[in-house]
Structure 1
Amino acid sequence: MALLEVKNLEVKFGLRSGAVTALRDISFTVDRGQRLGIVGESGAGKSVAAFSILNLLSRPGYISSGEINFDGKNLLKMSPDQLRNVRGNRISMIFQDPMMTLNPVLTVGAQMVECLQAHTRVSKEEARKIALEKLKLVQIPSPEKRLDQYPHELSGGMKQRIIIAIALLLNPDIIIADEPTTALDVTIQAEIMDLLLELCKGQNLGLILITHDLGVVSQVTQQMIVMYAGKIIEQGPTKEIINDAQHPYTQGLINALPQQGVPGERLYQIPGAMPPLQRIPKGCAFHPRCAYAQERCEKEQPDFTISGGCRVACHMVEDMIKQANVPASEEK
């Protein structure tokens, strides 16, 4: 049994014009020590999926159906007190903007001690010792000094390391990292991702990494989910998807990477834009932007097809696999 199992999750947002579906039939698992990447353009539903796991959705968003099982228990059926024992204790979250996560009027030490005392029965002195250990674990220079500093006295990279240290305070089983390097420069991004990878391997932590950066996903994760318009369109081992993407959308994301371009020429970009939730087209949601779209794509929503070790929701892939499995005698 997987440590975390998200099963047929559906999330809606209630608007005056009627409810719109933000996530449709989302299913995936994360085992202890496994690293899963969720990628897609802005608006694909990556962060909504992450927030749903810990039921952090704000109104008008709500989970309309599905299950989220953690260690054999459905999180959606837990009381607020029961869920509070999971948040931070068993599943921690790293948000994308450290400036919004840290309280500007409290020192780093005060925030870490407060977090520990909210979940465990430890003295202030003991909590401070644990906080210091976690700062050392994330390789913060002069950790004793940082405990008594305010967030505005620290660089962006240091703030993000402190956020990771706070996520590790209660020794969780899984960390959800939502765009953890968005506000950082390239060199600091690499340091933070290396740190996360090292911590996950060293402490056997599960990781759900939400990002739009396929380069980061290819280096850090073992499994990968590609989302489009609130739905999973490709899912499987990261190396297999990166090396041989099946869905035209995933192929477009890979072709748009700078290293895929020719020096002196414009970078490739997928034509068009992600549709708004109120106007998701019928059939395959990607068909208005797809170079391989057929009439069937405009009318029928594709089911998942198994291709190698991956699940792909694409009529073209389904047809290609069927054609490949037809014996030569039948083709004639």
Structure 2
Amino acid sequence: MTLLSVRDLTVKFGTRGTPVTALHGISFDVARGERVGVVGESGAGKSITGFALMNLLSRPGYIDSGEILFEGKDVTKMSDREIRRLRGNRMAMIFQDPMVTLNPVLTIGQQMIETLRAHRRLSYDDARQISLVKLKEVYIPSPEARLDQYPHELSGGMRQRIVIAIALLLDPQLIIADEPTTALDVTIQADIMELLLEMCRSNMVGLMLITHDLGVVSQVTERTLVMYAGRIIESGKTRAIINDPQHPYTQGLINALPQQTPPGTRLRQIPGSMPTLSTMPPGCPFNPRCELATDVCRARMPEITQFGEVQVACHEVKRLHAELAELEGAQ
């Protein structure tokens, strides 16, 4: 059953001249309890997608067109009061840096209790008790003592666990996690991702994991969206994309993983860099960096096409599949 349905979502940023487009008509679905990864380099549009879903875009950014249907209701048409009821209650977001998420002048308990009482009619004692239960669920040691501490008194890993506990306070149906382990040590990262996965499975919560790390995506998510320059260029089951990437950009991301490079050799990387919003090339936005680019790629934007378990936007992939189908037909 579909929980979230995004259709032709376009996000723009106003400038002194012509507005620039950050998201170009993206469409995807998230089912109840499904774990979806959103991957790509910095500037691909991953975080903008998350902010747009929560209706957290601030000027000069704005949703220009499209629908964001959450449980059948269009988020883009909700009033401020309806949005406040939705955020934290039915949809929650985990941000990159817990020190930015948590208020440094309030204790952990104050922040959790205020969150609960803003959405539920609860007494102070009941809200505190629920907060203790959630801290225990994310394996916070001595939760009673932690409620009376300030964020700066806790380690980075513990702060991120508390942010996850706050996200789960009101039993949301969807969590959007924006690079939730970026500021943490590698060993702590693994613990946090395992915790998120466990929480989503046990509570049947949908998860959108925004990250640049395909290794994390392969371990946590069931389906993956690969983004480039504000577009979804490949999507499908995570295992299918990891094992047999179709788009040259996805292939480049996987080849750039350290484990893909033999010891003692230079790490492989995709040449060039992501285009800026104001200097988008004509045709396929990846064509200046693509070894397979042809004149068609430089002139015309590729359409999303279904190939087996994945959808891909690439002229060359479409041509290769057409040639393969021709050969199979001839035999």
Alignment check: 8 A CA contact 1:103 1:151 kept: yes
Whole-Å separation in 2 of the counterparts to 1:64 and 1:148: 44
Alignment check: 8 A CA contact 1:40 1:228 kept: yes
The corresponding residue for 1:21 is 21
- Which has the larger displacement, 304-313 or 183-192? 304-313
Q: Deviations over 1:9-54 (max 9, x none)?
A: 0000001122000000111111111000000000000000000001
The corresponding residue for 1:150 is 150
SS at structure 1 position matched to 2:187? helix
The corresponding residue for 2:121 is 121
Whole-Å separation in 2 of the counterparts to 1:307 and 1:235: 10
Give the deviation of 1:330 after TM superposition: 6.3
Amino acid at match of 1:266: R
Whole-Å separation in 1 of the counterparts to 2:327 and 2:31: 39
Q: Deviations over 1:100-150 (max 9, x none)?
A: 011111100001011111111101111100100000000001111100000
SS at structure 2 position matched to 1:58? coil
Work out the number of aligned pairs and report it.
Answer: 331
SS at structure 2 position matched to 1:236? strand
Amino acid at match of 1:101: T
Is 1:161 paired with 2:161?
yes
Whole-Å separation in 2 of the counterparts to 1:306 and 1:121: 48
- Which has the larger displacement, 321-330 or 232-241? 321-330
The corresponding residue for 1:234 is 234
SS at structure 1 position matched to 2:175? strand
Q: Deviations over 1:185-233 (max 9, x none)?
A: 0000000000000111111110000000000000000000000000000
Alignment check: 8 A CA contact 1:10 1:24 kept: yes
Alignment check: 8 A CA contact 1:140 1:161 kept: yes
The corresponding residue for 2:81 is 81
Alignment check: 8 A CA contact 1:12 1:20 kept: yes
Alignment check: 8 A CA contact 1:305 1:317 kept: no
SS at structure 1 position matched to 2:12? strand
Give the deviation of 1:307 after TM superposition: 1.3
* RMSD value, Cα: 1.1
Matches for 1:316-331 after TM superposition, within 5 Å: 316-326=316-326
TM-score, normalization: structure 1?
0.98
Alignment check: 8 A CA contact 1:52 1:63 kept: yes
Amino acid at match of 1:224: T
Query: 1:156 and 1:319, CA in 2 relative to 1: closer, same or farther beyond 3 A?
Result: same
Alignment check: 8 A CA contact 1:181 1:189 kept: yes
Whole-Å separation in 1 of the counterparts to 2:234 and 2:305: 9
Whole-Å separation in 2 of the counterparts to 1:141 and 1:243: 39
Query: 1:8 and 1:328, CA in 2 relative to 1: closer, same or farther beyond 3 A?
Result: closer
Is 1:221 paired with 2:246?
no
Give the deviation of 1:329 after TM superposition: 7.4
TM-score, normalization: structure 2?
0.98
SS at structure 2 position matched to 1:326? helix
Matches for 1:1-332 after TM superposition, within 5 Å: 1-326=1-326
- Deviating 4+ runs (over 4 angstroms): 327-331
Give the deviation of 1:293 after TM superposition: 0.5
Q: Deviations over 1:290-322 (max 9, x none)?
A: 010011100010011211110000001100111
**Structure 2 runs not aligned, ≥5 long:** none
Alignment check: 8 A CA contact 1:256 1:268 kept: yes
Whole-Å separation in 1 of the counterparts to 2:205 and 2:7: 21
Whole-Å separation in 1 of the counterparts to 2:106 and 2:78: 32
Whole-Å separation in 2 of the counterparts to 1:237 and 1:280: 29
Alignment check: 8 A CA contact 1:283 1:297 kept: yes
- Which has the larger displacement, 265-274 or 302-311? 302-311
Amino acid at match of 2:198: E
Whole-Å separation in 2 of the counterparts to 1:330 and 1:148: 73
Q: Deviations over 1:164-194 (max 9, x none)?
A: 0000010000100000000000000000000
Amino acid at match of 1:153: E
Whole-Å separation in 2 of the counterparts to 1:250 and 1:217: 13
**Structure 1 runs not aligned, ≥5 long:** none
Amino acid at match of 1:95: F
Question: Percent of pairs identical after alignment?
Answer: 64
Amino acid at match of 2:8: N
SS at structure 1 position matched to 2:291? coil
Query: 1:329 and 1:257, CA in 2 relative to 1: closer, same or farther beyond 3 A?
Result: closer
Whole-Å separation in 1 of the counterparts to 2:219 and 2:148: 35
